[in-house]
Amino acid sequence: MKKTILVTGGLGYIGSHTVVELQENNYDVVVIDSLSNSIREVAERIASITKMPIKLYIADINDESLIDALFKQETIDGVIHFAAHKAVGESVQNPFKYYRNNIDGMITLQKVMRQYHVDTIVFSSSCTVYGDTKNSPINETHPVTEAISPYGTTKLVCEQILKDLCRYSGFRGIILRYFNPVGAHPSACIGELPIGVPDNLVPYITQTAAGIRDKLTVFGNDYNTADGTNIRDYIHVVDLARAHVKALDYAFTMHQDYEIFNLGTGKGHSVLEVIKAFEQASGKPLPYAIGARRAGDIEQIWADATKAAQLLKWTHQYNLYDMMDTAWKWQIALNHKQSRQG
Ligand code: UFG
């Protein structure tokens, strides 16, 4: 029998790609999304890829009576929890928004899960929990450190809450620590929808190439790396989404416990390498200038993703070129849509 998975934040960037992969891998899906950083139309776009409907609840994860009603109404077998604010800079400006939404949301969800005896959860965490480390590649045994932003604090605290529930309350949990998710679905039907000026590198690049921004500023070229720019482990969002399905499959085989997995390609790329890959994939030169370092940026970090390969039987399929190619095709699709509407 098909299992039904509740995906919180299922219309968001990683959530929407994960819903597609779940549906294509024989899971039924119920989505809850507050539309705080997404749009309703994403549900139709998902359905245009999978040709399958999703059950959609537009609500806040902190609304306990609604979450309770949802669990009463639906038979939920497991949960993938994405719903959270994720802008590092905003979290510094407005930390309480982050503590309230991300930590309270986690507590509310797990409290209701416990009431309804739903014990299986995959939680969306981040490599930000490793802090500023010089020891890449990083594996899951690397100590987590004091977070460098309130956003990072919420990920650390939520990881801790989940570990407690796995130790003492019969939960089985998987914590997925993402490195840098980029790219879009190859159909160009879903992708990242940044609101306002993007903070992240790849949407800034695609918007610059599309003429929405004048030029990209590279935040520093005086780091101790081969070309002086920061190194990150960029991972295609479809690879990431597939890892969630594998993680869920794995969780259903576990007894009460938790496991942590890094999700990255195991290879670091500099900002200049990303720009070059984008230029190759799009065939367009990218206007950019070297600027000052951005406060809080880590010099270089990439994953050791061996554990996911061994236990989840997951490895990445897409390379940096594919990431840029799909991100660019998604940007073009967005431009077409906007020009039709305008
Ligand atoms: N960068 C630029 N110019 C820009 C934007 C980014 O040069 O306009 C550089 C950054 O300095 C960094 C790299 O591109 O070297 C990647 O930056 P992103 O903002 O895309 O990603 P981060 O690595 O800073 O942040 C990501 C996630 C966070 C998470 C963090 C963990 O967005 O949610 O990784 O390290 F917390």
Which atom of ligand 1 lies closest to the CA of 149?
36
Residue with tokens 């059950």: 55
Flag whether 176 is in a domain: yes
Instruction: Report the residue among 200, 273, 324 best suited for mutation to probe ligand 1: largest number of ligand atoms under 8 A from its CB.
Output: 200
Closest by alpha carbon to 185, among 120, 242, 256, 249?
Answer: 242
Flag whether 89 is in a domain: yes
Question: Encoding tokens for residue 234?
Answer: 């960029």
Flag whether 42 is in a domain: yes
Flag whether 225 is in a domain: no
**What is the Å distance from ligand 1's center to 235 Cα?**
13
**Rounded Cα gap, residues 17 and 82, in angstroms:** 12
Rounded to two decimals, what is the model's pTM?
A: 0.97
- What does the chain come to in residues? 342
Pocket of ligand 1 (CB under 6 A): 86, 88, 126-128, 180, 199-201, 204, 216-219, 230, 232, 271, 294, 297-298
Burial of 146 (0-12, 13-18, 19+ CB in 10 A): exposed
**What is the Å distance from ligand 1's center to 336 Cα?**
27
Instruction: Report the residue among 98, 197, 201 best suited for mutation to probe ligand 1: largest number of ligand atoms under 8 A from its CB.
Output: 201
Residue 152 is given by DSSP the state H
**Rounded Cα gap, residues 61 and 63, in angstroms:** 5
Query: For atom 19 of ligand 1, which residue has the closest CA?
Result: 200
295 — pLDDT class (breaks 50, 70, 90): confident
pLDDT of 341 above 70 = no
Catalytic residue among 151, 178, 204, 234: 151
**pLDDT tens per residue, range 70-79:** 999 999 999 9
* Angle between helix 105-115 and helix 150-168 axes, rounded to 10 deg: 20
pLDDT of the residue at 133: 87
**pLDDT tens per residue, range 104-163:** 999 999 999 999 999 999 999 999 999 988 889 999 999 998 888 999 999 999 999 999
Flag whether 340 is in a domain: no
> 180-182 and 172-178 as β-strands: parallel, antiparallel, unpaired?
unpaired
DSSP 55-124: EEEE--TT-HHHHHHHHHHS---EEEE--S---HHHHHH-HHHHIIIIIIHHHHHHHHHHHTT--EEEEE
Q: What is the largest CA-CA distance in the chain?
A: 56
CATH of the domain at 19: 3.40.50.720
Q: Give me the chain's average pLDDT, please.
A: 96
**What is the Å distance from ligand 1's center to 130 Cα?**
15
Query: For atom 27 of ligand 1, which residue has the closest CA?
Result: 180
pLDDT of the residue at 19: 98
Question: Encoding tokens for residue 337?
Answer: 């849509």
Q: How many domains does the chain have?
A: 1
* 69, 246, 270, 327 from 282: Cα distances, Å: 47, 32, 18, 10
Flag whether 122 is in a domain: yes
Q: From the centroid of its chain, how far is CA 171?
A: 22
Which domain covers residue 127, as residue numbers?
4-183+234-264
Residue 151 among the catalytic residues: yes
**What is the Å distance from ligand 1's center to 180 Cα?**
8
120-126 β-sheet, strand order: 55-58, 27-33, 3-8, 78-81, 120-126, 172-178, 257-263
Flag whether 254 is in a domain: yes
Flag whether 170 is in a domain: yes
Query: For atom 1 of ligand 1, which residue has the closest CA?
Result: 201
**pLDDT tens per residue, range 164-218:** 999 999 999 999 999 999 999 999 999 999 888 999 999 999 999 999 999 999 9
How confident is the model over 309-328, as a mean pLDDT?
Answer: 98
**pLDDT tens per residue, range 33-69:** 999 999 999 999 999 999 998 899 999 999 999 999 9
Cis before 137 (ω within 30):
yes
Which atom of ligand 1 lies closest to the CA of 293?
11
Residue 237's φ and ψ, nearest 5 degrees, are: -65, -30
